Amino acid sequence: MPTSRGRDVGLYPCERGTLAVRCLNRRRLRSYRESRNGNGVMTNLSIAAVSGIPDVQAGTDLAKAIVQALKDNNLQLKHHDVLVVAQKIVSKSEGRFVNLNDVKPGEQALALAARCRKDPRLVQVILDQSNRVVRCAPDILIVEHKLGLVMANAGIDKSNIGVFPDAQMVLLLPEHPDRSAQQLRCELQKLVQQDLGIIINDSFGRPWRLGTVGVAIGAAGIDCTDDRRGEVDMFGRILETTVVGRADEIASAASLVMGQGSERIPVVLVRGLGPSQNVSPALSMVRKSAEDLFR
Protein backbone atom coordinates (compact mmCIF):
# COMPACT_ATOMS: atom_id res chain seq x y z
CA MET A 1 0.00 0.00 0.00
CA PRO A 2 1.70 3.24 -1.08
CA THR A 3 2.24 5.60 1.77
CA SER A 4 5.35 7.54 0.92
CA ARG A 5 4.94 11.22 0.19
CA GLY A 6 5.00 12.19 -3.46
CA ARG A 7 3.74 8.91 -4.89
CA ASP A 8 0.40 9.05 -6.56
CA VAL A 9 -2.61 7.39 -4.98
CA GLY A 10 -2.57 3.63 -5.23
CA LEU A 11 -5.78 1.99 -6.35
CA TYR A 12 -6.70 -1.25 -4.72
CA PRO A 13 -6.54 -4.24 -7.06
CA CYS A 14 -10.27 -4.85 -6.84
CA GLU A 15 -10.93 -1.47 -8.42
CA ARG A 16 -9.12 -2.17 -11.64
CA GLY A 17 -11.35 -2.20 -14.66
CA THR A 18 -14.37 -0.55 -13.09
CA LEU A 19 -15.67 2.28 -15.17
CA ALA A 20 -15.31 5.00 -12.60
CA VAL A 21 -11.74 4.53 -11.62
CA ARG A 22 -10.06 4.04 -14.98
CA CYS A 23 -8.81 7.59 -15.34
CA LEU A 24 -8.78 8.45 -11.71
CA ASN A 25 -5.13 9.18 -11.26
CA ARG A 26 -5.15 11.84 -13.92
CA ARG A 27 -8.54 13.14 -12.84
CA ARG A 28 -7.42 13.19 -9.23
CA LEU A 29 -4.50 15.41 -9.97
CA ARG A 30 -6.56 17.82 -12.02
CA SER A 31 -9.39 18.04 -9.56
CA TYR A 32 -6.93 18.29 -6.69
CA ARG A 33 -5.59 21.45 -8.25
CA GLU A 34 -9.09 22.74 -8.88
CA SER A 35 -10.50 21.91 -5.48
CA ARG A 36 -7.85 23.60 -3.45
CA ASN A 37 -7.77 27.35 -3.11
CA GLY A 38 -4.23 27.69 -4.34
CA ASN A 39 -2.81 27.32 -0.87
CA GLY A 40 -3.27 23.61 -0.39
CA VAL A 41 -6.43 23.55 1.70
CA MET A 42 -10.13 22.97 1.16
CA THR A 43 -12.32 25.91 2.04
CA ASN A 44 -15.69 24.36 2.81
CA LEU A 45 -16.96 21.09 4.17
CA SER A 46 -20.44 19.76 4.50
CA ILE A 47 -21.21 16.98 6.89
CA ALA A 48 -24.52 15.23 6.37
CA ALA A 49 -26.23 12.55 8.38
CA VAL A 50 -27.32 9.55 6.33
CA SER A 51 -30.38 8.46 8.26
CA GLY A 52 -32.64 5.51 7.64
CA ILE A 53 -30.03 2.75 7.58
CA PRO A 54 -32.03 -0.32 8.63
CA ASP A 55 -30.95 -2.45 11.58
CA VAL A 56 -27.75 -4.12 10.43
CA GLN A 57 -27.29 -7.83 11.07
CA ALA A 58 -24.64 -10.40 10.30
CA GLY A 59 -24.51 -10.68 6.54
CA THR A 60 -26.26 -7.38 5.79
CA ASP A 61 -24.92 -5.92 2.54
CA LEU A 62 -23.69 -2.59 3.91
CA ALA A 63 -22.90 -1.07 0.53
CA LYS A 64 -26.42 -1.70 -0.75
CA ALA A 65 -27.97 -0.47 2.50
CA ILE A 66 -25.90 2.72 2.37
CA VAL A 67 -26.71 3.41 -1.27
CA GLN A 68 -30.43 2.94 -0.55
CA ALA A 69 -30.24 5.25 2.48
CA LEU A 70 -28.41 7.90 0.45
CA LYS A 71 -31.21 7.75 -2.12
CA ASP A 72 -33.83 8.06 0.62
CA ASN A 73 -31.94 11.13 1.92
CA ASN A 74 -31.77 12.65 -1.57
CA LEU A 75 -27.98 12.54 -1.38
CA GLN A 76 -26.02 11.67 -4.50
CA LEU A 77 -22.39 10.68 -4.09
CA LYS A 78 -19.74 12.67 -5.91
CA HIS A 79 -16.05 12.10 -6.55
CA HIS A 80 -13.92 12.48 -3.41
CA ASP A 81 -16.87 12.24 -1.05
CA VAL A 82 -15.91 10.52 2.16
CA LEU A 83 -18.33 8.23 3.95
CA VAL A 84 -17.68 7.80 7.64
CA VAL A 85 -19.21 4.56 8.87
CA ALA A 86 -19.70 3.65 12.51
CA GLN A 87 -17.60 0.69 13.63
CA LYS A 88 -20.71 -0.82 15.10
CA ILE A 89 -22.53 -1.48 11.84
CA VAL A 90 -19.37 -2.78 10.19
CA SER A 91 -18.84 -5.21 13.07
CA LYS A 92 -22.49 -6.26 13.00
CA SER A 93 -22.48 -6.86 9.26
CA GLU A 94 -19.39 -9.02 9.74
CA GLY A 95 -21.10 -11.01 12.49
CA ARG A 96 -18.53 -10.07 15.15
CA PHE A 97 -20.85 -11.11 17.97
CA VAL A 98 -19.81 -13.14 20.97
CA ASN A 99 -22.36 -14.70 23.30
CA LEU A 100 -21.10 -14.26 26.85
CA ASN A 101 -23.04 -17.38 27.84
CA ASP A 102 -20.51 -19.37 25.81
CA VAL A 103 -17.46 -17.83 27.51
CA LYS A 104 -15.64 -19.43 30.43
CA PRO A 105 -13.40 -16.87 32.15
CA GLY A 106 -9.88 -17.90 33.08
CA GLU A 107 -7.89 -16.97 36.15
CA GLN A 108 -6.55 -13.67 34.84
CA ALA A 109 -10.03 -12.61 33.73
CA LEU A 110 -11.49 -13.48 37.13
CA ALA A 111 -8.82 -11.48 38.94
CA LEU A 112 -9.15 -8.45 36.66
CA ALA A 113 -12.96 -8.60 36.76
CA ALA A 114 -12.86 -8.36 40.54
CA ARG A 115 -10.76 -5.22 40.26
CA CYS A 116 -12.73 -3.51 37.50
CA ARG A 117 -16.13 -4.81 38.63
CA LYS A 118 -17.05 -6.10 35.20
CA ASP A 119 -18.56 -9.41 34.09
CA PRO A 120 -15.64 -11.90 34.17
CA ARG A 121 -16.86 -13.38 30.88
CA LEU A 122 -16.70 -9.93 29.26
CA VAL A 123 -13.22 -9.44 30.70
CA GLN A 124 -12.17 -12.77 29.16
CA VAL A 125 -13.39 -11.60 25.74
CA ILE A 126 -11.56 -8.30 26.21
CA LEU A 127 -8.35 -10.17 27.07
CA ASP A 128 -8.77 -12.44 24.06
CA GLN A 129 -8.79 -9.33 21.85
CA SER A 130 -5.81 -7.65 23.49
CA ASN A 131 -2.03 -7.60 23.62
CA ARG A 132 -1.83 -6.23 27.15
CA VAL A 133 -3.73 -4.49 29.92
CA VAL A 134 -2.88 -0.77 30.14
CA ARG A 135 -4.98 0.10 33.18
CA CYS A 136 -7.48 -1.65 35.43
CA ALA A 137 -9.55 0.18 38.06
CA PRO A 138 -13.16 0.15 39.26
CA ASP A 139 -15.40 0.36 36.16
CA ILE A 140 -12.40 0.84 33.90
CA LEU A 141 -10.39 -1.61 31.81
CA ILE A 142 -8.07 -0.07 29.24
CA VAL A 143 -6.12 -2.40 26.99
CA GLU A 144 -3.96 -2.39 23.92
CA HIS A 145 -6.08 -4.15 21.33
CA LYS A 146 -4.39 -6.71 19.07
CA LEU A 147 -4.69 -4.08 16.32
CA GLY A 148 -2.45 -1.78 18.41
CA LEU A 149 -5.30 0.55 19.40
CA VAL A 150 -5.24 1.57 23.05
CA MET A 151 -8.85 1.74 24.16
CA ALA A 152 -11.38 0.95 26.87
CA ASN A 153 -12.73 -2.61 26.85
CA ALA A 154 -10.92 -3.46 23.60
CA GLY A 155 -13.70 -1.55 21.83
CA ILE A 156 -16.20 -4.23 22.82
CA ASP A 157 -19.68 -2.86 23.10
CA LYS A 158 -23.04 -3.83 24.47
CA SER A 159 -25.16 -0.86 23.32
CA ASN A 160 -27.06 -0.66 20.05
CA ILE A 161 -26.23 -4.21 19.05
CA GLY A 162 -29.73 -5.69 19.04
CA VAL A 163 -32.10 -7.83 21.05
CA PHE A 164 -31.12 -11.44 21.64
CA PRO A 165 -33.60 -13.11 24.03
CA ASP A 166 -31.54 -16.26 24.68
CA ALA A 167 -28.05 -14.79 24.52
CA GLN A 168 -25.90 -12.12 26.10
CA MET A 169 -24.26 -10.71 23.05
CA VAL A 170 -21.33 -8.37 22.86
CA LEU A 171 -19.78 -6.99 19.70
CA LEU A 172 -16.07 -7.05 18.79
CA LEU A 173 -14.26 -4.61 16.50
CA PRO A 174 -13.97 -5.68 12.85
CA GLU A 175 -11.12 -8.16 12.50
CA HIS A 176 -9.25 -5.95 10.00
CA PRO A 177 -10.90 -2.51 9.94
CA ASP A 178 -8.73 -1.22 7.07
CA ARG A 179 -9.64 -4.29 5.03
CA SER A 180 -13.31 -3.75 5.88
CA ALA A 181 -13.06 -0.15 4.75
CA GLN A 182 -11.31 -1.18 1.56
CA GLN A 183 -13.94 -3.80 0.78
CA LEU A 184 -16.82 -1.42 1.45
CA ARG A 185 -15.11 1.18 -0.74
CA CYS A 186 -14.79 -1.28 -3.62
CA GLU A 187 -18.42 -2.35 -3.36
CA LEU A 188 -19.71 1.21 -3.10
CA GLN A 189 -17.56 2.39 -6.00
CA LYS A 190 -18.96 -0.40 -8.15
CA LEU A 191 -22.49 0.69 -7.26
CA VAL A 192 -22.10 4.45 -7.65
CA GLN A 193 -19.17 4.78 -10.06
CA GLN A 194 -17.50 7.50 -8.02
CA ASP A 195 -14.10 7.71 -6.39
CA LEU A 196 -14.80 7.59 -2.64
CA GLY A 197 -13.02 7.63 0.67
CA ILE A 198 -14.18 5.44 3.54
CA ILE A 199 -13.46 5.86 7.23
CA ILE A 200 -14.63 3.49 9.92
CA ASN A 201 -14.81 5.45 13.16
CA ASP A 202 -15.14 4.65 16.82
CA SER A 203 -15.19 6.76 20.00
CA PHE A 204 -12.02 6.81 22.06
CA GLY A 205 -11.28 8.17 25.49
CA ARG A 206 -7.97 9.98 25.82
CA PRO A 207 -5.15 10.54 28.27
CA TRP A 208 -5.14 14.01 29.81
CA ARG A 209 -8.52 15.01 28.34
CA LEU A 210 -12.12 14.23 29.28
CA GLY A 211 -14.68 13.05 26.78
CA THR A 212 -14.51 10.62 23.91
CA VAL A 213 -13.76 11.74 20.36
CA GLY A 214 -14.20 10.03 17.03
CA VAL A 215 -11.09 8.21 15.81
CA ALA A 216 -10.45 6.46 12.49
CA ILE A 217 -9.89 2.74 13.09
CA GLY A 218 -10.21 1.80 9.43
CA ALA A 219 -9.79 3.76 6.21
CA ALA A 220 -9.59 3.35 2.46
CA GLY A 221 -8.88 5.87 -0.27
CA ILE A 222 -7.90 8.49 2.31
CA ASP A 223 -4.76 10.38 3.33
CA CYS A 224 -4.87 9.38 6.98
CA THR A 225 -2.06 11.77 7.80
CA ASP A 226 -1.18 15.02 6.09
CA ASP A 227 2.54 15.61 6.14
CA ARG A 228 3.10 19.34 5.96
CA ARG A 229 6.82 19.22 6.79
CA GLY A 230 8.90 21.23 4.36
CA GLU A 231 6.06 23.57 3.43
CA VAL A 232 6.40 27.21 4.34
CA ASP A 233 4.31 29.32 6.67
CA MET A 234 2.85 32.62 5.50
CA PHE A 235 6.10 34.40 6.36
CA GLY A 236 8.26 31.92 4.45
CA ARG A 237 9.40 29.98 7.54
CA ILE A 238 9.70 26.24 6.90
CA LEU A 239 7.31 24.05 8.92
CA GLU A 240 9.41 21.56 10.82
CA THR A 241 7.20 19.09 12.57
CA THR A 242 3.64 19.33 11.37
CA VAL A 243 2.04 16.00 10.52
CA VAL A 244 -1.73 16.29 10.77
CA GLY A 245 -3.92 13.38 11.90
CA ARG A 246 -6.38 14.09 9.13
CA ALA A 247 -8.43 10.89 9.27
CA ASP A 248 -8.99 11.32 12.98
CA GLU A 249 -10.15 14.89 12.44
CA ILE A 250 -12.61 13.65 9.81
CA ALA A 251 -13.75 10.86 12.15
CA SER A 252 -14.32 13.44 14.91
CA ALA A 253 -16.20 15.79 12.61
CA ALA A 254 -18.50 12.95 11.56
CA SER A 255 -19.03 11.89 15.18
CA LEU A 256 -20.64 15.28 15.82
CA VAL A 257 -23.63 14.26 13.71
CA MET A 258 -23.44 10.53 14.32
CA GLY A 259 -24.44 10.57 17.97
CA GLN A 260 -24.12 7.78 20.46
CA GLY A 261 -27.59 6.78 21.47
CA SER A 262 -30.82 6.18 19.63
CA GLU A 263 -30.10 8.47 16.71
CA ARG A 264 -29.66 5.67 14.17
CA ILE A 265 -27.13 7.66 12.20
CA PRO A 266 -24.31 5.19 11.62
CA VAL A 267 -23.21 6.77 8.32
CA VAL A 268 -22.13 10.34 7.66
CA LEU A 269 -21.25 11.92 4.33
CA VAL A 270 -18.33 14.36 4.39
CA ARG A 271 -18.01 16.46 1.24
CA GLY A 272 -15.35 18.97 0.32
CA LEU A 273 -12.13 17.32 1.47
CA GLY A 274 -10.81 17.07 -2.06
CA PRO A 275 -8.96 14.13 -3.56
CA SER A 276 -6.45 12.07 -1.62
CA GLN A 277 -2.80 12.20 -2.51
CA ASN A 278 -1.00 9.68 -0.31
CA VAL A 279 -3.44 7.00 0.70
CA SER A 280 -2.57 5.18 3.90
CA PRO A 281 -4.40 2.73 6.15
CA ALA A 282 -5.84 3.92 9.45
CA LEU A 283 -3.70 1.51 11.43
CA SER A 284 -0.61 3.35 10.16
CA MET A 285 -1.66 6.08 12.60
CA VAL A 286 -0.94 3.86 15.60
CA ARG A 287 2.29 5.04 17.24
CA LYS A 288 4.89 2.37 17.80
CA SER A 289 5.62 2.05 21.51
CA ALA A 290 9.28 2.87 21.03
CA GLU A 291 8.44 6.09 19.19
CA ASP A 292 5.70 7.18 21.56
CA LEU A 293 7.16 10.11 23.44
CA PHE A 294 3.80 11.39 24.58
CA ARG A 295 3.34 8.68 27.21
Name the residue nearer to its own copies (CB basis): 141 or 192.
141
Name the residue nearer to its own copies (CB basis): 193 or 242.
242
Shortest CB 208 distance to its own copies, Å: 5
Shortest CB 19 distance to its own copies, Å: 30
Name the residue nearer to its own copies (CB basis): 20 or 140.
140
11: helix, strand or coil: coil
Name the residue nearer to its own copies (CB basis): 89 or 127.
89
Shortest CB 191 distance to its own copies, Å: 23
Name the residue nearer to its own copies (CB basis): 192 or 215.
215
Shortest CB 2 distance to its own copies, Å: 17
CB 149 within 8 A of CB 286: yes
Residue 141, C-beta contacts closer than 8 angstroms, at least 6 positions apart: 112, 116, 118, 123, 126, 133, 135, 152, 153
238: helix, strand or coil: strand
Shortest CB 96 distance to its own copies, Å: 17
CA distance 225 to 69: 29
Exposure string over 223-243, b if 16+ CB within 10 A, otherwise e: bbbbbeeeeeeeeeeeeeeee
